[in-house]
Amino acid sequence: MLEVTPLLPVQVSPRPATLRALIWHVDPGLLYLIVINVLVTVYGSASSSPPDAGIRMVVAFSTAVFLFEYLLRLWSCVEDRRFASNAVLGRLAWMRRPMSLIDLVALVPYVVEAIACYSAVYDYHITGLRLLRVLAFLRIERSYDAVKRLRIIFRKKRHELFVITYLTGAVILLSGITIFFLEQEAQPKVFSSIGVGAWWAVETITSLGYGDAVPRTVAGRIFASVVALWGIDLFAIPGAILGSGFVEVMLKHQTAKERRANAEWLQHACTRLHVPFFAELDLPSRSESSTTSSPPPSPSSTSEYARTCFSSAHFERVAETQERLVLQLHTK
């Protein structure tokens, strides 16, 4: 049986070379601590009195962990090529990112309350500041690819969603104006302004039905039926847009995985058949003057060459070569 030795790594994931790079690439996994703090915030919102000893301990521990994690990320962010041009400017650019600003805003209540809990005077206005700690829940986006893909979906479909938002606002405004003129004479106290009519339109479109404003005229009821039916279609359109965007993102992710798998399979097949890998793909030669006596390429240069070769055009050639090598493997 032939021993299979890979010719080149198709997907390179180098290990972090320094402690700073290791800190930047490692996810600390603060999900459980974030959930605990959100629950503590919900529990403590019912009382304006100073927190008890258990909550003070949780707040102090969370403050230390979140502050230390934020400072470590600020220190190691220059390992990312987007912020690696300049140490100071790169860190400032990282601090201006939306998720970094959310981390900072969510960190302020922890620091303020941790200081207030162990001080002689407890300001009761801190109770409202506690609610900002819920923003720490948005930090989950950094740890899960599914949440990151959701952000990609909103970015890809932002124009369609803007059109739907504009259309929804126009429907609410026009419905409020129409119901005001249809019902104002019959119910002057209920439909006293166009703003009240717009509020009624929101209730009708979303099927809330609070009952504070109900049309009584025949024309008003007919128009209310039309608005209610239109509301069903209006809320179905954003769902269809987000659903199509989710399918596009997932298909793109799956296609990338299949391309990597096909490239690895092709490399494996070429090794078994003793076929030069780059020759099968008709890729550009590494050097015109290479001979059998030349030393083998280093892993870093091979990896760089692989990344430049595996473009979208070459993956089509990979599929064709794969079919041909399948026949050779079966006949070998």
Task: Please report the sign of the dihedral spanned by the C-alpha atoms of residue 274, residue 277, residue 283, residue 286.
Answer: negative
317, 261 Cβ separation under 8 angstroms: no
Does 261 fall in a domain? no
Contacts with 230 (C-beta within 8 Å, 6 or more apart), sequence order: 171, 205
Residues 58 and 154 in one domain: no
Does 257 fall in a domain? no
Tokens representing 283? Answer: 């890729």
Range of the domain at 57: 17-143
pLDDT at 233: 82
Residues 74 and 178 in one domain: no
Closest CA to 168 of 230, 240, 242, 245: 230
* Number of domains present in the structure of the chain: 2
Residues 55 and 120 in one domain: yes
Tokens representing 30? Answer: 């603060």
Rounded distance, CA 108 to CA 89, Å? 23
CB atoms within 10 A of CB 56: 16
Residues 62 and 95 in one domain: yes
pLDDT at 117: 64
Residues 134 and 220 in one domain: no
Residues 123 and 154 in one domain: no
157, 245 Cβ separation under 8 angstroms: yes
Residues 94 and 200 in one domain: no
Phi, psi of 165 (to 5 degrees): -65, -45
Rounded distance, CA 297 to CA 121, Å? 69
Does 285 fall in a domain? no
Residues 161 and 130 in one domain: no
Rounded distance, CA 11 to CA 21, Å? 19
Tokens representing 238? Answer: 């954003």
pLDDT at 154: 87
pLDDT at 278: 47
Rounded distance, CA 199 to CA 212, Å? 10
Per-residue pLDDT of the chain (332 residues; tens, 9 = 90+): 434 334 334 444 455 567 666 666 665 567 777 778 778 777 776 666 666 777 778 878 888 888 888 888 888 888 888 888 888 888 888 888 887 887 888 787 777 777 766 655 555 555 556 666 666 666 666 656 667 778 888 888 889 889 999 999 999 999 999 999 999 888 988 898 999 999 999 999 888 878 888 899 999 999 999 999 888 888 888 888 888 888 888 888 788 777 777 777 766 766 665 555 444 444 444 444 444 444 444 444 444 444 444 444 555 565 566 666 666 656 65
Of 110, 143, 176, the last residue of a domain is 143
pLDDT at 260: 76
Contacts with 317 (C-beta within 8 Å, 6 or more apart), sequence order: 281, 282
pLDDT at 1: 40
Does 9 fall in a domain? no
Residues 55 and 137 in one domain: yes
Residues 194 and 130 in one domain: no
Tokens representing 214? Answer: 């109900």
158, 152 Cβ separation under 8 angstroms: no
**6: DSSP letter:** -
Rounded distance, CA 203 to CA 214, Å? 10
pLDDT at 6: 40
CATH number at residue 59: 1.20.120
H helices of 118-217, in order, are 126-130, 145-156, 158-183, 194-205
Closest CA to 196 of 220, 216, 217, 212: 212
Does 38 fall in a domain? yes
H helices of the chain, in order, are 19-25, 31-44, 53-76, 87-95, 98-117, 126-130, 145-156, 158-183, 194-205, 218-272, 277-281, 299-309, 312-331
pLDDT at 303: 43
Of 102, 119, 143, the last residue of a domain is 143
Residues 101 and 118 in one domain: yes
Q: CA angle at residue 252 from 246 to 253, to 5 degrees?
A: 90
Does 299 fall in a domain? no
